[in-house]
Amino acid sequence: MSDLEKPLILVVEDEPQIAEVLEGYLRREGFRTDWAEDGAKALTLHRVGRPALVLLDIQIPKMDGFEVLRRIRETADTPVIFVTAMTEDLEKLMGLKMGADDYVVKPFSPVEVVARVKAVLRRVSSAQQRSQVLRVGLLEVDTMGLIARVAGKRLDLTLSEYRLLEHLARHPQRSFSRLELQEACLPESDALERVVDAHIGNLRKKLEGAGAHGMLETVRGVGYRLWLD
């Protein structure tokens, strides 16, 4: 597995020493990591990096963990594990449905935290396999029903357009050449690579017509990718 294929964990923690320890343990277990020391940076890194999971301290500068989670949930269902040392935070976690997947209490064992991360990712992966729904921002691709929606609005796609969109949605932010897309999505076709351009052009129009502006990007000298600003 290449480094880019390893799951990315976003560690949101304002104490550098704690963040460093967590990142070290996570990397040793085969994860990539990113670090944000405040709520504003956490949202930026989440938007850019699209992490597999967020390890989110509640008491952080600029914006507390509850507000960070609320904003993440506006656009994504990224798994979140809360980290807290405050009794009142625990009361909120127990008394409200905050949308987090788990929580750990300081002081904690880094080994325990890594175990929780793995457990949540296994649970989420199992649920995704059952539902067979790919989500990239406002885009949802139902691989069982061969249906794609943007913000709940169904897209009227041809089979070729659907195949291309599903393939791109399985690897968001990864760039594919025209040849790669042709071989993966149109293997039975003898069409030239420029036919991929035509399908992509039609697909882009349909995405933008549903409100997903700029999601399907042309990568100069390479090909295409799905991207979120």
- Is-same-fold flag (3-130; 133-226)? no
For the segment 135-189, what is each residue's pLDDT rounded down to a tens digit? 888 899 988 778 899 988 899 988 888 989 999 998 888 999 988 888 888 765 5
pLDDT of the residue at 132: 76
pLDDT of the residue at 96: 44
Spell out the SS3 assignment of the chain.
Answer: CCHHHCCEEEEECCCHHHHHHHHHHHHHCCCEEEEECCHHHHHHHHHHHCCCEEEEECCCCCCCHHHHHHHHHCCCCCCEEEEECCHHHHHHHHHCCCCCCEEEECCCCHHHHHHHHHHHHHHHHHHHHHHCEEEECCEEEECCCCEEEECCEECCCCHHHHHHHHHHHHCCCCCEEHHHHHHHHCCCCCCCHHHHHHHHHHHHHHHHHCCCCCCEEEECCCEEEECCC
- CATH topology classification for 3-130: Rossmann fold (3.40.50)
Assign residue 212 a region: left if phi > 0, alpha if psi is -120 to 50, beta otherwise? beta
Contact status, residue 151 vs residue 210, Cβ threshold 8 Å: yes
pLDDT of the residue at 35: 97
CA distance 25 to 114: 7
Residues 6+ away with beta carbon under 8 Å from 104: 81, 82, 83, 112, 113, 116
pLDDT of the residue at 135: 87
CATH of domain 133-226: 1.10.10.10
Where along the chain do its domains lie? 3-130, 133-226
pTM of the model: 0.58
Give every residue of the chain whose pLDDT is below 70, as ranges: 1-5, 87-99, 126-131, 187-193, 229
pLDDT of the residue at 124: 76
